[in-house]
Structure 1
Amino acid sequence: MAADAGLLARARELLAEHPVVDGHNDLPWALRMQVAYDIAQRDISRDQSAHLHTDIPRLRSGGVGAQFWSVYVSTELAGDAAVSACLEQIDVVRQLAARYPQDLRLATSAEEMEAARSEGRIASLMGAEGGHSIANSLATLRALYELGVRYMTLTHNDNTDWADSATDEPRHGGLTRFGEEVVGEMNRTGMLVDLSHVAADTMRDALRVSEAPVIFSHSSARAVCGHPRNVPDDVLEALPGNGGVAMATFVPKFVLPEAVAWTQAADENMRAHGLHPLDTGEHGMRVQREFEREHPRPDADAATVADHLDHMREAAGIDHLGIGGDYDGTAFLPSQLEDVSGYPNLVAELLRRNWSEADLAKLTWRNAVRVLGDAEAVARELRGRRGPSVATIDALDG
Structure 2
Amino acid sequence: MKPLLSGLALALSLACAPALADDAVSTEARALHERILTLDSHLDTPSFFGRDGWDILQRNDTPPTASQVDLPKMIEGGLDGGLWVIYTGQRGRTPEDDRAARDAGLVRLVEIRELLAAHPDTFELALTADDAPRIRDAGKRVVYISIENASPLSADPSLLALYHRLGVRVLGLVHTSNNDFADSASTPPEWNGLSDKGRALVAEANRLGIVLDQSHASDAVFDQLIALSKAPIILSHTGADAIHEHPRNIDDARIRTLAEHGGVILVNSLGSYLIDTGATPAYQNDLRALYERFGGRANLSEANYAEFDRLRGELDAKHGLKKATLDDYFAHILHIIEVAGPEHVGFGADWDGGGGVVGLEDVSDLPKITARLLEAGYTDAQIEAMWSGNLLRVIREAQAVAEQDVAKAR
Normalization by structure 1: what TM-score? 0.89
> Is 1:314 the counterpart of 2:338 in the alignment?
yes
Distance 1:299 1:149 in 2: 34
Q: Report if the CA contact (8 A) 2:49-2:112 is conserved.
A: no
| d(CA) in 1 for partners of 2:237, 2:280 | 20
2:234 is paired with a residue of what secondary structure?
strand
Aligned counterparts of 1:23 and 1:259: Cα–Cα separation in 2: 28
Q: Secondary structure at the match of 1:217?
A: strand
For the pair 1:300 / 2:312, whether they are aligned, the reply is no
Please say if residues 216 and 245 of structure 1, whose CA atoms lie closer than 8 Å, have aligned partners that are also in contact.
yes
SS at match of 1:124: strand
Q: Does 1:365 align with 2:388?
A: yes
1:353 aligned partner, one-letter code? A
1:152 aligns with 2:164: no
Q: How many Å separate the matches in 1 of 2:264 and 2:286?
A: 31
Determine the structure 2 residue equivalent to 1:44.
Answer: 56
Number of residue equivalences = 380
**RMSD value, Cα:** 2.2
**Cα distance, 1:217 vs. partner?**
0.9
Tell me the residue number matched to 1:255.
274
The 8 Å contact of residues 254 and 260 in structure 1, kept in 2 or not, is answered as no
Identity of aligned residues (%): 28
- In structure 2, do the counterparts of structure 1 residues 240 and 5 end up closer, same or farther at CA, with 3 Å as the change threshold? closer
Q: How far off is 1:274 after superposition?
A: 3.3
Deviates more, 1:146-155 or 1:295-304: 295-304
Q: Which runs of 5+ in 2 are unaligned?
A: 1-18
AA matched with 2:59: D
**Whole-Å Cα distance in 1 between the matches of residues 160 and 147 of structure 2?**
10
Write the deviation string for residues 129-160 of structure 1: whole angstroms up to 9, x where unpaired: 11212115341111111111111101111112
Match of 1:56 in 2: 71
Residue among 316, 334, 340 paired with 2:357: 334
- Preserved CA contact (<8 Å) 1:8 1:344: no
Residues 110, 290 of structure 1: CA spacing in aligned structure 2 closer, same or farther, 3 A cutoff? same
Report how far residue 224 of structure 1 moved: 0.9
Q: 1:291 to 1:271 in 2, by over 3 A?
A: same
* Residue pairs, 1:1-398, within 5 angstroms: 3=21, 7-32=25-50, 35=51, 38=52, 41-50=53-62, 51-76=66-91, 78-135=97-154, 137-258=156-277, 261=280, 264=284, 267-268=287-288, 270-271=290-291, 273-274=293-294, 276=296, 281-330=305-354, 333-386=356-409
C-alpha separation in 2, matches of 1:219 and 1:79: 27
CA distance in 2 between partners of 1:72 and 1:255 (Å): 22
Contact 2:235 2:265 in 1 (8 A): yes
* Alpha-carbon offset, residue 25 of structure 1: 1.2
Q: Name the CA distance, whole Å, in 1 between partners of 2:307 and 2:23.
A: 37
Contact 1:240 1:320 in 2 (8 A): yes
TM-score norm. by structure 2 comes to: 0.86
Superposed displacement of residue 258, structure 1: 3.3
Corresponding position of 1:390: none
**How far is 1:219 from its partner?**
0.7
Distance 1:283 1:6, change over 3 A: closer
| 3-state DSSP of counterpart to 1:157 | coil
**Residues 89 and 8 of structure 1: CA distance in aligned 2, closer, same or farther (over 3 Å):** farther
Q: In the alignment, is the contact (CA less than 8 A) between 1:54 and 1:328 conserved in 2?
A: yes
Q: What secondary structure sits across from 1:258 in the alignment?
A: coil
Distance 2:239 2:359 in 1: 18
More moved, 11-20 vs 44-53: 11-20
How far does the alpha carbon of each residue in 1:19-66 deviate from its partner, in whole angstroms, 9 at most, with x for none?
A: 32111111122345xx2xx4xx21121110112112100011111112
Moved more, 250-259 or 3-12: 3-12
1:323 partner letter: F
Change in Cα spacing, 1:272 to 1:357, as seen in structure 2 (3 Å) is same
Give the whole-Å Cα distance in 1 for the aligned partners of 2:286 and 2:122: 36
Offset, 1:231: 1.5
**Worse-superposed segment, 220-229 or 378-387:** 378-387
CA distance in 2, matches of 1:295, 1:157: 23
Q: Distance in 1 between matches of 2:401 and 2:203?
A: 11
In 1, distance between residues paired with 2:290 and 2:153?
29
Structure 1: gaps (5+ residues): 388-398
- Structure 1 pair 115/266, CA: closer, same or farther in 2 (3 Å)? farther
Q: Which amino acid aligns with 2:32?
A: L
Deviation at 1:277, TM superposition (A): 5.6
**Cα drift, residue 103 of structure 1:** 2.1
The one-letter amino acid of 1:58's match is: K
Within 2, Cα distance between the matches of 1:147 and 1:110?
16
Output the CA distance in 1 between the equivalents of 2:122 and 2:182. Answer: 37
> Equivalent residue of 2:343, what SS?
helix
Q: Which moved more, 1:22-31 or 1:66-75?
A: 22-31
CA distance in 1 between counterparts of 2:385 and 2:289 reads 40
Give the CA deviation at 1:165: 0.8
| Distance in 2 separating the partners of 1:23 and 1:267 | 28
